[in-house]
Structure formats: structure tokens, C-alpha cells
Chains A and B, each alone.
Chain A
Amino acid sequence: MTAVIENLDPLLRALGTTVLILVVSAIGSLVLGVLITVARVSPIPVLRGAAFAYVQVFVNIPLLALLLLAVFALPDAGLLMPLTTTVIVVLTVYEAAYVAEAVRSGINTVAAGQVEAARAMGLRLSQTLRHVVVPQAVRAVVQPLGNVMIALLMNTALAATVGVVELTSAVNKVNLVAAQPIPIFTAAGLTYMALALAIGLAAGRIEKKVAIHR
């Protein structure tokens, strides 16, 4: 444990990087994921097809492969982004596919009659989605979205493999000198657990707050 306390400063800075990656990718993937779902249920076949293809591609490719491609193949194509930015972009597009799947299952809970009613009242498609479908769909899937965000948190650890100094990478460095893997990695594991619990509790709170009482 002394090894962790002695290196608290770099470890906390690395934890900051983990939280930064988590928050930015979480916001990005939630927004992108909802947009993809909207495309997926839209009446325009091209949009539906593109959204379907997007989800299939990102759900079926391992995240590590995507990260390595983005970090090592994109520069050959002429796009050299800073490492942390690359990781945030990859995590955003990857988790957006899972967010989209979660929100789509929420949309299935909105009765078709409501959409028909909205149309009958003269709402346009965008109005129907914005005021009727999406708010109800998202409320129904707060807890699953929380789980997607927890998975996102765990996935930030992969950033260590491509040179980003986040929590996992920093504890590796501390262990390299201190040679006490068990206390050091236990501390890191507990930190991840605390963050995941916080996300889970927040999701539970939000779910209760926004629940629709029928």
C-alpha cells in the first residue's frame, strides 16, 4: 500500500485522465447512439440501412482491434491525432453502437398507437420523435444505459495499450518500480469498482426520478 501512497500524485493525475476519457466518451456516445437509433426507426430506407450497418460493424469488431487500427493505421492514411483524442473518438463510436441497441429496445416499449395518435394530431416526424417517442424510450432504458456506461469505464483501461497514461497505465508504471503487484492492482481494481458503483447508483437515482408512473 505504501507504494500507492508514495505515488499518489501521478496516480491521481492518471485517474483524472480516466475520468476525462469516460465523461467525454459517455456524452458523445449517448448523443451519437440516440441519433443512430432515430435513423434506425426512421421511414427513410437509406438511413435505416446505414444505422443497421453501423451497429453491426461496431458491435462485431473487438474494441482493441479498433483502437490499434485507429492509432496505427490512420496515421498511414494521413490522419495523426493525439493519442488521448484518438481513444476518446474510438470509444465514442464504439459505445454508441451499444447505446443505440439499448435505446432501440426502449423504443419498442412505446406503443405504436402513440405514434399514430401523434400523427393524427398533426405532429411531424421530428416532432413525434422529439416529444413522444425518444423521451419515453430513454426513460425505459436508464438502467441498461448505466450498464453500457460501466462497460465504457472498463474499456478505458485498454487505452493503456496504446500509450495513454490513464489509471491502468499508471499503476503498471508504479508496479514496475515497487514490484508489489497484488496491493497495487487491488487498489486500482477498487478504484474502478468505486467509479462503476457511482455510475450504477446514479443510474438508479435517475431511473427513479424520470420513471413514468402509468
Chain B
Amino acid sequence: MSDIRLPRRRFPLITAVLATASVAVAGCGSSDSSSDAVPGGGGSADAAGLDAVYEDAPVADDELILPESTMAEIKERGVLRVAAALDAPLLSQQDPSNPDDVEGFDIDLAKMLAIYILGEPNIEIVPPASETREALLQNGTVDVVFNTYTITEERAEQISFAGPYFTSGLAVAVAADNEDISSIEDLDGTNVIVGANTPAVTAVPEVAPGAEVTSFATDPQAVQALVQGRGDAYVQDYTLLLAAAAANDDIKIAVQPFTEEPYGIGLPPEDAEYKDFVNDWLEQIQDDGSWAEIWEATLGTVVEGDAPTPPEIGSVPGS
């Protein structure tokens, strides 16, 4: 008897646990999607706007997909494998309540490239630890990197860069009540927070040799550390800081961009055909205005003014 009764008794318990779990999950989901911490993240209007861009997106003619090239391989596979972040607001942000929904400037461009090759925005995102991007390209795990990937000559020895497709720069945020820091020179002798594996790690010691640098793994952590007074200033990409300052009244931007970071599209090394192909595509979407439309729908939601002029392709050493 008891061996029959036991499983019966378990069912209500299991159902109760499942119910609790699903309530908890639902709770998380709703609180996440209603928060404004990620500007532009849940904008359905933006997404609808971009649908039109996707529909009119250029598609490569068949003769451009050279036989036995990387492009042909991608077309055969039917999906473009992209290394992109999932936690960069406005650039490449995953919706926590809907993991398939990733939005932002980087990822929208990746979808445009997928349309160009495949005819549909079919991408598979490989979250790259940014420290392993070169290895992912070299061993063929991904076809392309869209990951605020600053073009440097050291990196260009390992892989190829198409673009640059965007130019940004590092700026400085401070606590809202901080009046001591108003220029980059003021950083000397202070404790500066940076994001781990961002260009700021090397840029801050160059412009302010006397500054102590503390790096945090993610952007929200760095903002929290700044608010809590673990550092005097936070140096990060200007667009990310704008998004953070828009969502958080406790911080403000104290110094406008003081570097130029040309972002490139990371491609496997020594594949000139593929690089030319991607550069051609980039030129097309810049000329037909879809580059600007994507900028407006993403970064443009926090930056004042019209879309900037895209940087000239191949204008940076290493590209």
C-alpha cells in the first residue's frame, strides 16, 4: 500500500513547487520588462521601425557569393554565427524575460549582414568573453564579431577588421554631487573605475598616470561602485555612460569623450574576399541610409542630434 500512496502524495508537493517557481519566474519577468534601466531595450516602436529597414535591406547578388568562399559556407549553413555581447544596453542587449530578443546597434547591423548573405536575419549569437574574440575568429567558431571591437594594430596582426563601422570615445562619469572633476587632468591622483576588458583599462593610465584603476566585470557593477563611492570617477564608452546617466540620477557626465575608438567588424584572418565583401555591404547600408536609421533607433535614443556621419571604411591603421 505504502508504495502506491507515496507517489500520490508527492504530486501535490511537486505541483506546489512548480507553481511557486513559475510565480517567481513570472515575477522576475514582469519586473524586468517594466524597468527603465535599459533605455531603448523594450521599445516596440523601435523594433517595428526596424522591420521596415530589414525588409528593404540589401541582399547580395548570387555572383557575389564566390564559390568555396566564407560567404558560400555561411549561405550553405543558413545561419550567420556572430560573437556579440548580451549585456550592452543600446548596442547588444538581451531581453531577460525573452532571451530570443536581442536589440541594439551592433546586433541590428549583424542582422543586416545576415540578410545580405542569407536573405533573412538568421543569426546565432555566441557570447564572446571579450578576452577570447581573436581565438573565436581564428578557430572558426564564429563568422563575424560585432562587439564594440576597437581596431588596434596588435589585434589586426591576429585577425582582420572590416570597417570601421562606428566611432565612439571614452568619457568620464562622476557622482552627481562631485564638482572636483571637470577635465581629464583632474583624474590624476584619484581612484578611477573602469569596465574590465574595455579600452579604458589602458587609456586611463595614459592620460592620468597618477590615477589608481579599479576594474569591474560589468557596466551595472561599475555604476553601482561609483554610486557607493568605491571610486571618484567611471571611465567608459560615451554612449554607455549616456545610457547609464539617463537611467540613474546619482551620476552625471563630467568630461566629454577624450579618445577616439574606431569600432571594427572582426573577421577571420587572411580572408581578403570575405573582408571586401563585408566592406562592400557596409558601404551599401551607409549609402542607402539604413545605417543611420539603425543608429536613430538605438544609440540615437540617448544621444542628442542627428545620426553622425559614419567613419570612412579603411581609414584606421589595422582596418
Contacts and interface: CB of A to CB of B under 8 A. Distances in A.
B155 interface: yes
B154 A80 contact: no
A112 to B, nearest CB: 34
Interface of A: 68, 71-72, 75-76, 80, 83, 160-163, 165, 169, 172-173, 175-182, 185
Contacts of B228: 72, 75-76, 80
Given A179-B134, A181-B134, A163 B229 contact: no
A162 B218 CA distance: 9
The 9 closest A-B pairs by CB, nearest first: A161-B217, A75-B228, A163-B214, A179-B155, A181-B135, A181-B132, A179-B134, A163-B216, A175-B131
A169 B215 contact: yes
Query: Which of A68, A80, A83, A176 is the most central at the interface, judged by chain B CB atoms within 10 Å of its CB?
Result: A176
A176 B201 contact: yes
Majority secondary structure, B binding face: helix
Contacts of A75: 228-230
A42 to B, nearest CB: 34
**B131, B132, B155, B224: residue with the most chain A Cβ atoms closer than 10 Å:** B131
Interface in B191-247: 193, 196-197, 201-202, 214-217, 221, 224-225, 228-230
B183 interface: no
Given A169-B196, A180-B158, 18 more contacts: A72-B221, A72-B224, A72-B228, A160-B217, A162-B216, A162-B217, A169-B215, A172-B197, A173-B201, A173-B215, A176-B197, A176-B202, A177-B154, A179-B154, A180-B134, A181-B132, A181-B134, A185-B131
Contacts of A173: 201-202, 215
Given A162-B221, A169-B196, A182 B135 contact: yes
B152 interface: yes
Contacts of A179: 134, 152, 154-155, 157-158
Interface residues of B, number: 24
Contacts of A178: 154
Contacts of A177: 154, 202
Contacts of B214: 83, 163
A163 B225 contact: yes
Contact of A72 (B157, B196, B225, B229): B225
Contact of A160 (B155, B157, B196, B201): B196
Contacts of B154: 177-179
Nearest to A161: B217
Contacts of B225: 71-72, 163
22 contacts: A68-B221, A76-B228, A80-B228, A80-B229, A83-B214, A83-B230, A160-B196, A161-B216, A161-B217, A163-B193, A163-B214, A163-B215, A163-B225, A169-B196, A176-B201, A177-B202, A179-B152, A179-B155, A179-B158, A180-B134, A180-B158, A182-B135
